[in-house]
């Protein structure tokens, strides 16, 4: 029945209608007037898209989130083509639609696939309820360069963590009823210099061992879509790469869904200097494996009917798009229930899950003297300082559009609700603007502004005086949400503006000081790490952020997140990651520069809690195994502290010798546990060929060596409890 129905539709379609099915139009119906200077004229897109719908020239739309609009446009679409084929509605549901979850890098920092899946299931439910069928997420690009703004959208530097997070998100979105679209395939996170959109030159060794595994995990989790990447990969635009989009994705991994280009990336094959003209771009993209062209206007795929050589590829792609629509039930029920949408978006359970996710994502970087948690009764007066402390828009982070600002809880509001102490606020420093406006500022973003009549010196003095006169100072610092994300790369990791100056002045008052970071990339914390007793990374914690942060500050919950990236001391160390090889002088790994230590400020996997954890009785099920056999590694973890707390138990492997120099450590297992004071849990990991193999640069295939493996288990990549096992041909 499935094929018959699709074949019947196909048989009745003209070449123009087939090309139309392979075209996705932006539909920027923006509140108020967009800024044409930013290139988005609020009316140009809707006009082009509706004209295309009327002539059966569009198979999908994006950026429509209002159910009534979805139904109106769907009616236009169905009436606009003889077969009555409905359109797919796609959108960037990255970390929530109405209920906003912590940003993806924060969710990754929870090291908690179940919570990640639960969050994306809710996002999927809310999206499907308003008529969105498909999300351009998860973003699964590995990166080791925090200058790159899109670090915030991924799961950090590690392929093993990245693969687990990718699979959890795909399960979540698709469990929530929408197609997941992992992106950007592939290698985008290695853009030269961290400069967004610049080329990525990646060896096959790094592609197969580092950048591709999260995509493979997403495909194996059943992702129904993949989005291509903008940049040149080894000289070939990823959006025109037959090797990536067909040989790897389909021939090697068996992907059966559909591929969409990133925005305008098909037409831009000409801009790259790869295609000669739009018709050439269209023909090469569709034969490389780009099924659907995401376009602003005048799609390149309109040229396909005039390119006979692309006819077979077009047929295959149209079939994939129709299969997706059939699987979603759109051919039978293309419209959305507008009343149900309101009910789903208002579900209080969604807010509760978002609050729990924000609790689990925070990373306690430092807590000297157990300053945290604060005893709500012990502090009569609390100073809350910094412009991010009371910014609802920044609390949500980037890549959100359909949010409800009024219901967003800032850090200041969360603290005020959680304590009877006197809580006073001071912005302290001027808001810092980006030099160039963010392309997303027009989407109800915020060009943060200082209040009317703001006097920088007076405000600075007022904030410091407030700190001096309070029992504790909580300083919220970081980057505004438009300083990170797409087209938001930086050449520095400094705290923007006068924030560090404020922190130094507050610390100098002698009032116990807590630094809370609102960020999506590691920032230069060399001074705070030396002089501020407690530092917690709260990321952009989402709709319930302030409540979750207050839960953590006052001990209703313990932080337990772990860093998904290596935290550099300075931007001069970048790129930096923990999984490097030994070199011939491993003993000097920390002194590779003469002007700065080359060790990280905080290691990958680092994060404290309000518990204390002891690791004992590390055991391997066999001293020696055959290359195709598994070993089980188990360990006792005990909370020797006085408070219940979470711990992420991590397992790292190192291959001592073989056909290649292997990383000093590689994450090959993790498990998040919650332990009561005094409680011991035995945690076990299975290490088989899948965890021990690696792709070999000369063999150009996956290999397994007979060798000796070091095993470490602990609470970060600096874990010390160790053992070994042998792999031998027995």
Q: To the nearest whole angstrom, how small is the minimum distance from the Cβ of residue 539 to ligand GLC?
A: 19
Confirm if 62 and 90 have CB atoms less than 8 A apart: yes
For ligand GLC, the closer of residues 93 and 364 by Cβ is: 93
Q: To the nearest whole angstrom, how small is the minimum distance from the Cβ of residue 123 to ligand GLC?
A: 14
Strand bridging mode 707-714 / 721-727 = antiparallel
Confirm if 548 and 359 have CB atoms less than 8 A apart: yes
- Annotated active-site residue 457? The verdict is no
Q: To the nearest whole angstrom, how small is the minimum distance from the Cβ of residue 196 to ligand GLC?
A: 9
For ligand GLC, the closer of residues 39 and 586 by Cβ is: 39
Half-sphere exposure of 47 (CA within 13 A, CB side): 6
Token digits of residue 692: 């021990």
Q: To the nearest whole angstrom, how small is the minimum distance from the Cβ of residue 439 to ligand GLC?
A: 8
Q: To the nearest whole angstrom, how small is the minimum distance from the Cβ of residue 183 to ligand GLC?
A: 5
For ligand GLC, the closer of residues 183 and 355 by Cβ is: 183
For ligand GLC, the closer of residues 212 and 294 by Cβ is: 294
Verify cis geometry, omega within 30 degrees of 0, for the bond prior to 497: no
Residue with tokens 């027009």: 442
Q: Across the beta sheet with 534-537, what order do the strands follow?
A: 363-367, 534-537, 513-518, 472-478, 381-385, 422-426
Collapsing DSSP to helix, strand or coil, 503 comes out as helix
State the CB neighbour count (10 A cutoff) for residue 463: 25
Half-sphere exposure of 168 (CA within 13 A, CB side): 22
Q: What is the dihedral of CA 293, 297, 301, 303, to 10 degrees?
A: -170
CA distance 544 to 186: 33
Q: To the nearest whole angstrom, how small is the minimum distance from the Cβ of residue 532 to ligand GLC?
A: 35
CA distance 574 to 125: 39
Nearest alpha-carbon partner for 22 in 364, 231, 221, 258 = 258
Q: To the nearest whole angstrom, how small is the minimum distance from the Cβ of residue 89 to ligand GLC?
A: 13
Handedness of CA 262, 288, 250, 128 (dihedral sign): positive
E-state strands within 394-540: 422-426, 472-478, 513-518, 534-537
Collapsing DSSP to helix, strand or coil, 559 comes out as coil
For ligand GLC, the closer of residues 50 and 262 by Cβ is: 262
Binding site for ligand GLC (CB under 6 A): 92, 136, 183, 262-263, 486
47: left (phi over 0), alpha (psi -120 to 50) or beta: alpha
Residue with tokens 């970087």: 365
Residue with tokens 């000669």: 276
Token digits of residue 500: 């560090």
For ligand GLC, the closer of residues 178 and 525 by Cβ is: 178
DSSP state of 608: B
Beta-ladder partners of 536 = 364, 516
Q: To the nearest whole angstrom, how small is the minimum distance from the Cβ of residue 153 to ligand GLC?
A: 7
For ligand GLC, the closer of residues 140 and 553 by Cβ is: 140
DSSP 3-state percent helix, strand, coil across the chain (nearest 5)? 35, 20, 45
Collapsing DSSP to helix, strand or coil, 185 comes out as strand
For ligand GLC, the closer of residues 99 and 264 by Cβ is: 264
Q: To the nearest whole angstrom, how small is the minimum distance from the Cβ of residue 358 to ligand GLC?
A: 23
- Options 262, 302, 524, 705, the catalytic residue: 262
List, in sequence order, the alpha helices (H) in 347-451: 348-361, 392-396, 411-418
For ligand GLC, the closer of residues 141 and 537 by Cβ is: 141
Phi then psi dihedrals of residue 233, to 5 deg: -110, 110
Name the closest residue to ligand GLC (Cβ): 136
For ligand GLC, the closer of residues 139 and 426 by Cβ is: 139
Beta-ladder partners of 615 = 637
Q: To the nearest whole angstrom, how small is the minimum distance from the Cβ of residue 493 to ligand GLC?
A: 23
Catalytic residues: 262
């Amino acid at each position: 029945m499935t094929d018959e129905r699709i074949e019947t539709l196909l048989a009745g379609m003209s070449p123009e209608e087939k090309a139309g099915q392979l075209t996705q139009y932006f539909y920027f119906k923006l509140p108020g007037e967009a800024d044409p200077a930013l290139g988005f004229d609020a009316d140009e897109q809707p006009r082009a898209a509706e004209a295309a719908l009327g002539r059966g020239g569009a198979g999908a739309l994006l950026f429509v989130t209002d159910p009534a609009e979805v139904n109106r446009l769907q009616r236009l679409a169905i009436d606009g083509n003889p077969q009555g084929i409905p359109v797919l509605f796609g959108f960037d549901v990255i970390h929530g639609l109405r209920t906003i979850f912590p940003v993806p890098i924060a969710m990754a920092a929870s090291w908690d696939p179940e919570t990640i899946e639960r969050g994306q299931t809710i996002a999927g439910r809310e999206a499907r309820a308003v008529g969105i069928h498909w999300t351009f997420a998860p973003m699964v690009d590995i990166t080791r360069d925090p200058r790159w703004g899109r670090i915030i959208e991924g799961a950090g530097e590690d392929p093993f963590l990245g693969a687990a997070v990718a699979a959890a998100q795909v399960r979540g979105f698709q469990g929530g009823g929408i197609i997941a679209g992992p992106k950007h395939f592939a290698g985008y996170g290695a853009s030269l210099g961290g400069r967004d959109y610049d080329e990525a030159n990646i060896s096959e060794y790094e592609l197969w061992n580092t950048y591709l595994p999260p995509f493979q995990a997403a495909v194996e989790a059943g992702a129904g879509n993949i989005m291509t990447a903008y940049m040149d990969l080894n000289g070939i635009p990823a959006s025109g790469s037959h090797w990536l989009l067909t040989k790897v994705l389909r021939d090697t991994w068996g992907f059966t869904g559909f591929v969409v280009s990133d925005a305008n990336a098909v037409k831009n094959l000409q801009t790259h200097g790869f295609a000669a003209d739009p018709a050439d771009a269209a023909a090469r993209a569709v034969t490389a494996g780009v099924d659907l062209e995401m376009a602003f206007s005048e799609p390149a795929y309109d040229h396909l009917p005039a390119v006979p050589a692309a006819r077979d590829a077009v047929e295959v792609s149209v079939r994939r798009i129709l299969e997706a629509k059939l699987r979603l039930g759109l051919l039978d029920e293309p419209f959305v229930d507008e009343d149900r949408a309101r009910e789903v978006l208002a579900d209080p359970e969604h807010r509760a899950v978002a609050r729990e996710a924000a609790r689990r994502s925070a990373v306690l970087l430092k807590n000297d003297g157990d300053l945290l948690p604060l005893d709500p009764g012990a502090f009569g007066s609390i100073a809350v300082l910094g412009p991010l402390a009371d910014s609802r828009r920044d609390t949500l982070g980037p890549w959100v559009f359909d949010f409800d600002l009024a219901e967003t809880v800032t850090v200041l509001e969360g603290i005020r609700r959680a304590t009877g102490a006197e809580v006073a606020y001071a912005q302290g420093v001027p808001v810092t603007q980006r030099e160039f406006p963010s392309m997303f500022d027009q989407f109800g973003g915020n060009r943060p502004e200082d209040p009317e009549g703001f006097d920088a010196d007076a405000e600075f003095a007022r904030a410091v005086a407030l700190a001096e006169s309070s029992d504790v100072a909580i300083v919220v610092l970081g980057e505004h949400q438009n300083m990170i994300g797409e087209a938001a790369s930086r050449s520095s990791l400094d705290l923007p503006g006068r924030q560090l100056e404020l922190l130094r002045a507050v610390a100098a008052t002698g009032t116990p000081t807590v630094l809370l970071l609102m960020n999506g990339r590691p920032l230069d914390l060399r001074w705070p790490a030396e002089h501020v007793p407690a530092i917690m990374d709260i990321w952009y914690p989402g709709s319930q952020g302030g409540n979750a942060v207050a839960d953590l500050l006052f001990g209703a919950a313990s932080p337990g997140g772990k860093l998904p990236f290596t935290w550099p001391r300075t931007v001069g160390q970048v790129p930096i990651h923990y999984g490097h090889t030994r070199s011939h002088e491993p003993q000097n790994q920390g002194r590779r520069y003469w002007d700065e230590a080359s060790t990280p400020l905080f290691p990958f996997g680092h994060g404290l809690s309000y518990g204390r954890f002891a690791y004992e009785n590390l055991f391997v099920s066999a001293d020696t195994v055959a290359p195709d056999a598994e070993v089980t590694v188990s360990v006792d973890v005990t909370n020797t502290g006085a408070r219940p707390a979470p711990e992420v138990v991590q397992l790292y492997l190192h291959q001592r010798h073989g056909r290649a120099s292997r990383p000093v450590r590689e994450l090959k297992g993790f498990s998040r546990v919650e332990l009561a004071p005094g409680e011991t849990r035995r945690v076990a990991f299975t290490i088989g060929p899948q965890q021990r193999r690696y792709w070999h640069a000369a063999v150009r295939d996956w290999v397994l060596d007979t060798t000796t493996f070091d095993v470490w288990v602990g609470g970060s990549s600096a874990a010390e409890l160790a053992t070994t096992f042998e792999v031998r041909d027995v």
